[in-house]
Structure 1
Amino acid sequence: MRILVSGSLAYDRIMSFPGSFADHILPDKIHILNVCFLVEGLEEKFGGTAGNIAYCLRLLGEDPTIVATAGKDFAAYEAWLRHCGIAIDGIRRVNGEFTAGAYITTDKADNQITGFNPGAMKHRADYTVDEADPAQTIAIVAPGNLEDMQDFPRRYKAKGIPCMVDPGQNITAFSGDQLAEMLTGATYLISNDYELELIQNSTKLTQAEIVERAGTVITTLGEKGSVIRQKGSEIAIPPCPVAEVKDPTGAGDAFRAGFVKGLALDKPLDVAARLGSVSAAYAVEKHGTQEHAFTWQEFADRYAAAFGPLK
């Protein structure tokens, strides 16, 4: 099964501040704010929605194609993807830009100040799907370049390629009409519960109307699991037990990878969502979005322990 994963590629540059931001910000001087935080080193990790989803799919034994853009500093990330056995032929290089990057500083109270440079993500991937076989292709459109997020669903729908639309953190960048077009006719719409409410508010569509348009709506609920809604039905999916929550960042992308793996195996939707729950559990047990690892046998054993044998 060919799996197309469009979205972002990004470096996550993580810094730790040993004090408290609040001690260095004077409330009566906010209008002339000028602060400097001396951090304790910097960690660089690989991230971005497309990168995270593709990484998990590769762990699950699939051969995904990343459809995204990267910049002139992509060499380290490229080497990592090659090491993981992930194809890079769908990645467009934009030599005049840096690869998208998040600069995250966290203080001792877990408050965060983040700067995000979209860099190469400002440019479209320019990827063609003309040769894709609808019967052998699944696509997921994750947050990334805004034009790609609107255009790829149109192209997938036109070719009859099953498509999962995931507007995620870019929901507020689209108008209600644009969101409505993206989800209408999509095979799946996936979001967390807060994002689903944002979609409803923006489109002025009820939850039932969104289900009517999208066909299948998957809503993740964090530690409460997920729910699958189709016309006339609603299935609650429990979470997979987690040994220790170290970093929830990337759990959503891991869930999506597990769900898509279930689709590639032609499993029922509830089984696909349980696969997503197990994949997410691995992600939250490690710091970073591409730090966890497992074999398929380890994954299947964990699935069996949580939900019974994988059939």
Structure 2
Amino acid sequence: MRILVSGSLAYDRIMSFPGSFADHILPDKIHILNVCFLVDGLEEKFGGTAGNIAYCLRLLGENPTIVASAGKDFAAYEAWLRHCGLSLEGIRRVNSEFTAGAYITTDKADNQITGFNPGAMKHRAEYPVDEADPADTIAVVAPGNLEDMQDFPRRYKAKGIPCMVDPGQNIPAFSGEQLTEMLTGATYLISNDYELQMIQNSTGLTQAEIVARTGTLITTLGENGSVLRQGATETVIPACPAKDVKDPTGAGDAFRAGFIKGLSLGKTPAEAAKLGSVSAAYVVEKHGTQEHQYTWQEFCDRYAATFGPL
């Protein structure tokens, strides 16, 4: 099965501040805020929604196509993707921009200050998705370029290609009408419970009305698993226990990858969500979204230990 994953490619540049932000921000001077934090060092990780999902799908034995834009500093990330055996055919190079980057500073109390430069993500991927075969393709539309997030679902629906819509952190960037159009007719709409409430607030739709407009509504609940809603049916899927929770960042992307893998195996959405739970568990056990590794046999063994034989 051909898997198209549109979204973002980004560098996560993580800095650690050994003190507390609160000690350096004067409340009575907040109108002229000017602070400098001397950090202990910087780590650079590969990230972005499309990169994370594709990485996890590759671990699961799939060969997804990343549909995204990257900038003039993409060489290191490109080498990593090649090392992982991932295709670069769907990645547009924008040499006038830097690859999207998140600059995250965390203090000793785990408070974070983040700056995000969209860079090349401001430019559409310009990938010819219309050439895909509906009978052998599934698509994921994850947070990335805003125009792509609106246009790709339209084209997938028109072509009859099964499509998972994931507005995620870009929900506030869309109007209620735009979100309603994106989710209407989508095969799957996925979000966490907070994002689902944001979608409801923006669109004015109830959960029942959203379910009526999309094939399957998937709501992830972190350590509490996930809920699938199809028509009047609601199915709760437990989480796969993590051995040691280190960083939940990227768990949602890993869940999406596991879910898509399940669909590629011919599983029902409820069964596919169980693969999503196992995939997510690996991510939270590492710092970084593309730091975990496993073989397919190791994955199957862990699945069996939680849910029974795959």
Tell me if TM exceeds 0.5: yes
* Cα drift, residue 227 of structure 1: 0.4
Q: Structure 2: how far apart are the matches of 1:229 and 1:173?
A: 26
Which residue in 2 is equivalent to 1:300? 300
Matches within 5 A, 1:142-291: 142-291=142-291
* SS in structure 1 of the partner of residue 53 of structure 2: helix
Q: Structure 2: how far apart are the matches of 1:131 and 1:189?
A: 23
1:47 partner amino acid? G
Is contact 2:130–2:156 with CA below 8 Å preserved after alignment? no
* SS in structure 2 of the partner of residue 242 of structure 1: coil
Q: Structure 1: how far apart are the matches of 2:89 and 2:26?
A: 50
Q: Structure 2: how far apart are the matches of 1:15 and 1:44?
A: 9
TM-score calculated relative to the size of structure 2: 1.00
Is contact 2:99–2:118 with CA below 8 Å preserved after alignment? yes
TM-score calculated relative to the size of structure 1: 0.99
Which residue in 2 is equivalent to 1:50? 50
Which residue in 2 is equivalent to 1:121? 121
* Cα drift, residue 269 of structure 1: 1.3
* SS in structure 2 of the partner of residue 217 of structure 1: strand
* Cα drift, residue 164 of structure 1: 0.1
2:274 partner amino acid? R
Q: Structure 2: how far apart are the matches of 1:129 and 1:143?
A: 17
* SS in structure 1 of the partner of residue 12 of structure 2: strand
* SS in structure 1 of the partner of residue 131 of structure 2: coil
Which residue in 2 is equivalent to 1:92? 92
> What stretches of structure 1 move > 6 A for 4+ residues in a row?
none
Q: Identity percentage over the alignment?
A: 85
Q: What value does the CA root-mean-square deviation take over the aligned residues?
A: 0.4
Q: Structure 1: how far apart are the matches of 2:146 and 2:214?
A: 20
Q: Structure 2: how far apart are the matches of 1:160 and 1:56?
A: 25
Report whether the alignment pairs 1:82 with 2:82. Answer: yes
Q: Structure 2: how far apart are the matches of 1:86 and 1:282?
A: 20
2:198 partner amino acid? L
* SS in structure 2 of the partner of residue 210 of structure 1: helix
* Cα drift, residue 232 of structure 1: 1.4
Give per-residue Cα distances to partners, 1:259-287, cap 9 Å, x unaligned.
Answer: 00001111011110000000000000000
Which residue in 2 is equivalent to 1:27? 27
Q: Structure 1: how far apart are the matches of 2:196 and 2:27?
A: 35
Give per-residue Cα distances to partners, 1:164-189, cap 9 Å, x unaligned.
Answer: 00000000100000000000000000
* Cα drift, residue 130 of structure 1: 2.4
2:71 partner amino acid? G
* SS in structure 1 of the partner of residue 130 of structure 2: coil
Deviates more, 1:266-275 or 1:160-169: 266-275
Question: Where does structure 1 lack aligned partners over 5 or more consecutive residues?
Answer: none
* Cα drift, residue 15 of structure 1: 0.2
Deviates more, 1:173-182 or 1:261-270: 261-270
Give per-residue Cα distances to partners, 1:231-270, cap 9 Å, x unaligned.
Answer: 0100000000111110000000000000000011110111
Is contact 2:56–2:258 with CA below 8 Å preserved after alignment? yes
Report whether the alignment pairs 1:110 with 2:106. Answer: no
Question: Where does structure 2 lack aligned partners over 5 or more consecutive residues?
Answer: none
1:296 partner amino acid? W
1:289 partner amino acid? T
Q: Structure 2: how far apart are the matches of 1:153 and 1:103?
A: 30
Is contact 2:187–2:214 with CA below 8 Å preserved after alignment? yes
2:235 partner amino acid? I
Q: Structure 2: how far apart are the matches of 1:262 and 1:13?
A: 32
* Cα drift, residue 215 of structure 1: 1.4
| Number of residue pairs aligned between Structure 1 and Structure 2 | 310
Report whether the alignment pairs 1:140 with 2:140. Answer: yes
* SS in structure 2 of the partner of residue 130 of structure 1: helix
Which residue in 1 is equivalent to 2:60? 60
* Cα drift, residue 60 of structure 1: 0.1
Which residue in 1 is equivalent to 2:70? 70
* SS in structure 2 of the partner of residue 179 of structure 1: helix
Q: Structure 2: how far apart are the matches of 1:86 and 1:271?
A: 26
* SS in structure 1 of the partner of residue 86 of structure 2: coil
Q: Structure 1: how far apart are the matches of 2:50 and 2:155?
A: 18
Give per-residue Cα distances to partners, 1:40-96, cap 9 Å, x unaligned.
Answer: 010000000000000000000000000000000000000000000000110000000
1:148 partner amino acid? D
Q: Structure 2: how far apart are the matches of 1:143 and 1:81?
A: 20
Q: Structure 2: how far apart are the matches of 1:242 and 1:87?
A: 30
Which residue in 2 is equivalent to 1:11? 11
1:18 partner amino acid? P
* Cα drift, residue 210 of structure 1: 0.2
Q: Structure 1: how far apart are the matches of 2:251 and 2:129?
A: 28
